[in-house]
Amino acid sequence: MEKIIDENKQGKALVLEQTRGNNKKLFIESYGCQMNFSDSEIVASILAKQGFNTTQNMEEADLVLVNTCSIRDKAEQTVRKRLKKYNAVKQEVNPAMKVGVLGCMAERLKTKFLEEEKIVDLVVGPDAYKDLPNLLAEVDEGREAINVILSKEETYGDIAPVRLNSNGVTAFVSITRGCDNMCTFCVVPFTRGRERSRDPQSIIEEVNDLWSKGYREVTLLGQNVDSYLWYGGGLKKDFTKASELQKATAVNFAGLLDLCAKAQPKMRFRFSTSNPQDFTLDVIETMAKHRNICNYIHLPVQSGSNRILKAMNRLHTREEYFELIDNIKRLIPDCGISQDMIAGFPTETEEDHQDTLSLMEYVKYDFGFMFAYSERPGTLAERKMEDDIPEAVKKRRLTEIIELQQKHSLYRTQQHLGKVEEVLIEKASKRSDAHWSGRNSQNTVVVFPKEHYKVGEFVNVKILDCTSATLLGEAVGYSINN
Ligand code: SAH
Ligand code: F3S
């Protein structure tokens, strides 16, 4: 049920094209959000220049890297289990193997990793990957190495990620790093630092490059994409100090979407994730203006109760959220909308929980990603509030939220029955090799017989049947986008 945590991909080792002449072997696996998977491609690209080729066989690796997630306690426990596994391989098969921890857990635990997990040689935070060559040189000389400095500028805009283990059709392009929102439950502002945006020019270049390599859909990625703001570099929070010229020529998220949509009119664009408080009307208008910007918004709300929203430091009310939903549906009537929800935030009452269910009833989300509250060290909620909702109550509320979402998901998929919708073919269906799998504009998976169609083509599909998660249909021809 976790979007950011695509269970099929968790922990998958990244394998890239082999660079001739490279003789060291890198095993790199990733956990957590899409940004981590994207970062691992950057890391592998940096290390390719240091003589490393990627391998899927940990036992033969010279260097094992794990890109980690801190968002919930469970995510950290998964990584700890993997470290035990690496340790076993190191002791039994490959004593020369070096182990490095990257990403959010590295940033959160810093030197503690070197102290607690004796097997770790290297600790690198999300803004320090360019320092990897120096850090590895230290490790080679027998020292432990660590760099967890968070940056004001780093966006890795100048590093071309390699993407050879993808489906070749859809790609992620990161546009912002860090987050300034300080939701009280969330560890991200501490592990990924202050918010900064990437130069639109380098984003467009990456998009153009992807198009020329056959990619047909790009998801613009950030912890909080709607807050994107380019004014020549620097932190979002320093924009007030920018010069008049910088302010006049600044590019906001709607501007960036417009630039992307125009640069590649046949490329599909999506974006993730949006925070309602930063979502402005001009973004909806830009979406409505361009047919190649998908009609889909991931719009996490976390709770339907005004009291809890306030305690979470989500800077909008339930009523303002409804207004935003109404504006979206007014300008883009068939827009797909999905949510993230947290059950059992400190002090949540049954009444607050009912508010969450009634908010869901109003919006009837297409799908959602729902979690039980997990207290994270260092966050404001951890420091100021007691984690006072018993596990059993959290679980029961979460189950009620998930069950309601499943009902709404089915209601939403049923609305597609009988319609003809454009689908971008991504891969063979998991269940049947005779069927293609792709997604419609609203981000719902559509499965249909392959016939003569090929991966990467835009096809019009008549929707004939559905489950709560998938649409089933048959192709009726190419779409005009093809
Ligand atoms: N803006 C981010 C959100 C990061 S976390 C993004 O790009 O997706 C993703 C989701 O995890 C959040 O929306 C929230 O629903 C959930 N989450 C974050 N911290 C949590 C915590 N402490 N306990 C439970 N769920 C949490
Ligand atoms: Fe976390 Fe809130 Fe930012 S959920 S990533 S602090 S928008």
**Torsion over CA of 227, 279, 336 and 211, rounded to 10 degrees?**
-30
Q: Does residue 229 fall inside a structural domain?
A: yes
Q: Does residue 8 fall inside a structural domain?
A: no
Return the ligand number nearest the Cα of 3: 1
Residue 378 to residue 391: CA distance in whole angstroms: 21
Return the ligand number nearest the Cα of 225: 1
Q: Has residue 205 got a pLDDT over 90?
A: yes
Considering the domain architecture, whether residues 378 and 459 belong to the same structural domain is answered as no
How high is the pLDDT of residue 167?
A: 86
Q: Has residue 399 got a pLDDT over 90?
A: yes
Considering the domain architecture, whether residues 98 and 209 belong to the same structural domain is answered as no
Q: Does residue 79 fall inside a structural domain?
A: yes
Q: Does residue 157 fall inside a structural domain?
A: no
- The pLDDT tens digits of the residues spanning 449-473 come to 999 999 999 999 999 999 999 999 9
Considering the domain architecture, whether residues 313 and 210 belong to the same structural domain is answered as yes
Considering the domain architecture, whether residues 208 and 230 belong to the same structural domain is answered as yes
Helices (H), 60-100: 73-92
| Residue where one domain finishes, among candidates 356, 385, 412 | 412
Average pLDDT, the chain: 93
How high is the pLDDT of residue 1?
A: 35
How high is the pLDDT of residue 14?
A: 73
How high is the pLDDT of residue 178?
A: 94
User: Domain with 460 in it: what CATH number?
Assistant: 2.40.50.140
Q: Has residue 349 got a pLDDT over 90?
A: yes
Considering the domain architecture, whether residues 116 and 97 belong to the same structural domain is answered as yes
Q: Does residue 440 fall inside a structural domain?
A: yes
Overall domain count for the chain:
3
Specify the ligand 2 atom closest to the Cα of 179.
3
- The pLDDT tens digits of the residues spanning 53-102 come to 999 999 999 999 999 999 999 999 999 999 999 999 999 999 999 999 99
Cβ 181 under 6 angstroms from ligand 2? yes
| Residue where one domain finishes, among candidates 395, 412, 429 | 412
Q: Order of strands across the sheet with 217-221?
A: 170-174, 217-221, 268-272
- Closest C-alpha to 437, from 453, 417, 416: 453
Contact 334, 442 (CB under 8 A): yes
- Closest C-alpha to 4, from 339, 377, 357: 339
CB-based contacts of 431, cutoff 8 Å, min separation 6: 447
**How many angstroms separate the alpha carbon of residue 38 from the centre of ligand 1?**
18
Question: Containing domain of residue 80, as a range?
Answer: 24-147
Considering the domain architecture, whether residues 322 and 382 belong to the same structural domain is answered as yes
- Residue 325 one-letter amino acid: I
- Record the tokens describing residue 272, joined without a space: 């993730």
Specify the ligand 1 atom closest to the Cα of 375.
22
335 known member of a binding site: no
**How many angstroms separate the alpha carbon of residue 151 from the centre of ligand 1?**
22
pLDDT confidence bin for 437, thresholds 50/70/90 = very high
Q: Has residue 4 got a pLDDT over 50?
A: no
Bridge-based pairing of strands 98-103 and 122-124 is parallel
How high is the pLDDT of residue 3?
A: 40
Specify the ligand 2 atom closest to the Cα of 187.
1
Residue 118, classified by CB atoms within 10 Å of its CB into exposed (0-12), middle (13-18) or buried (19+), is exposed
Cβ 302 under 6 angstroms from ligand 2? no
Q: Has residue 249 got a pLDDT over 80?
A: yes
Beta strands in 352-469 (DSSP E): 367-372, 420-428, 435-439, 445-449, 458-466
Considering the domain architecture, whether residues 471 and 358 belong to the same structural domain is answered as no
Cβ 161 under 6 angstroms from ligand 2? no
CB-based contacts of 423, cutoff 8 Å, min separation 6: 436, 438, 439, 440, 446, 448, 458, 459, 460, 461
Phi-psi label, residue 377: left if phi above 0, alpha if psi -120 to 50, beta otherwise = beta
Considering the domain architecture, whether residues 391 and 428 belong to the same structural domain is answered as no
Phi-psi label, residue 53: left if phi above 0, alpha if psi -120 to 50, beta otherwise = beta
Return the ligand number nearest the Cα of 387: 1
69 known member of a binding site: yes
Q: Does residue 19 fall inside a structural domain?
A: no
**How many angstroms separate the alpha carbon of residue 421 from the centre of ligand 1?**
31
Q: Does residue 17 fall inside a structural domain?
A: no
Q: What percent of the chain has pLDDT over 90?
A: 85
Helices (H), 93-160: 104-109, 111-116, 132-140
User: Domain with 46 in it: what CATH number?
Assistant: 3.40.50.12160
| Residue where one domain finishes, among candidates 372, 395, 412 | 412
The single residue listed with the structure tokens 């810093």 is 110
How high is the pLDDT of residue 2?
A: 36
388-393 mean pLDDT: 98
Residue to mutate, 186, 219, 271, 402, ligand 1, most ligand atoms under 8 Å from C-beta: 186
Bridge-based pairing of strands 229-230 and 251-252 is antiparallel
Helix axes of 350-363 and 318-331: crossing angle, nearest 10 degrees: 10
User: Domain with 352 in it: what CATH number?
Assistant: 3.80.30.20
Cβ 371 under 6 angstroms from ligand 1? yes
Considering the domain architecture, whether residues 113 and 206 belong to the same structural domain is answered as no
Considering the domain architecture, whether residues 399 and 450 belong to the same structural domain is answered as no
329-354 mean pLDDT: 98
pLDDT confidence bin for 482, thresholds 50/70/90 = confident
294 known member of a binding site: no
- The pLDDT tens digits of the residues spanning 96-129 come to 999 999 999 999 999 998 888 778 999 999 999 9
Q: Does residue 162 fall inside a structural domain?
A: no
Considering the domain architecture, whether residues 255 and 351 belong to the same structural domain is answered as yes
Considering the domain architecture, whether residues 277 and 320 belong to the same structural domain is answered as yes
Return the ligand number nearest the Cα of 179: 2
179 known member of a binding site: yes
In this prediction the pTM is: 0.93
Residue 154 to residue 157: CA distance in whole angstroms: 8
- The pLDDT tens digits of the residues spanning 161-198 come to 766 567 899 999 999 999 999 999 999 999 999 999 99
Cβ 186 under 6 angstroms from ligand 1? yes
Cβ 185 under 6 angstroms from ligand 1? yes
